Structure 1
Amino acid sequence: MKATPKVRKIALLGKFAYPELRLNTLADKACMPVYHFHRIYRKFTFEPINVTVRRMCLLKAYVMLLRSFMNQQDIAKQVQYGCAAAFNRTFTRYVCTL
């Protein structure tokens, strides 16, 4: 089955570094206005782009916690959180409830 152009554009998510993943960047790569890209993305994935970005960053942090010897402060900085406390709150809320 051949992927449609819209699905291919959504597949671009995996090619970006997670913190640089922004709605404007994705809409430009998809050659669509921001409003339409967000609407189509939400229709296909059932979640807004910012929720996807947060989830992908937390997944990256989860893997880093499991596979590296980095401390939480360094991992929080790597996934673009301002402080370890904010990272810990978000990580606990979203990852530990799974």
Structure 2
Amino acid sequence: MTEGILAQLSKASAAEEFFTLLGVDYDPGIVNVARLHILRRMGQYLAGEDFTGATDEVVTERCRAVLNRAYSDFVASSPIDQRVFKVLKDAVAPQQKPGPTLVQIGTLK
């Protein structure tokens, strides 16, 4: 018996392997710039999926659709625009204004 698609994907070590396993066409230039972002977004989308009782063919098709969706996000815009990772989200988060500095009266001379 062959391994299911989820087992194969869990062994993949490069973004290109995900695209190959799922039969999704891609532009290497886009993948070279956004590989981690695409895979992270794919993981976010897959987190909302429930594969309970689904056949491997159904799981493969849903994974293919999710990878296509994640890849399309980065064809249309950049990793900076998408802000998948926390460090990029924090970079544009509104900064809290520091409150007034409190000095205890006893420390003043």
What TM-score results when the alignment is normalised by the length of structure 1? 0.25
Larger Rg: 2
What TM-score results when the alignment is normalised by the length of structure 2? 0.23
Instruction: Kindly indicate which of the two structures has a greater share of residues assigned to helix.
Output: 1
Q: Which has the higher contact order (CA 8 A, sep 6+)?
A: 2
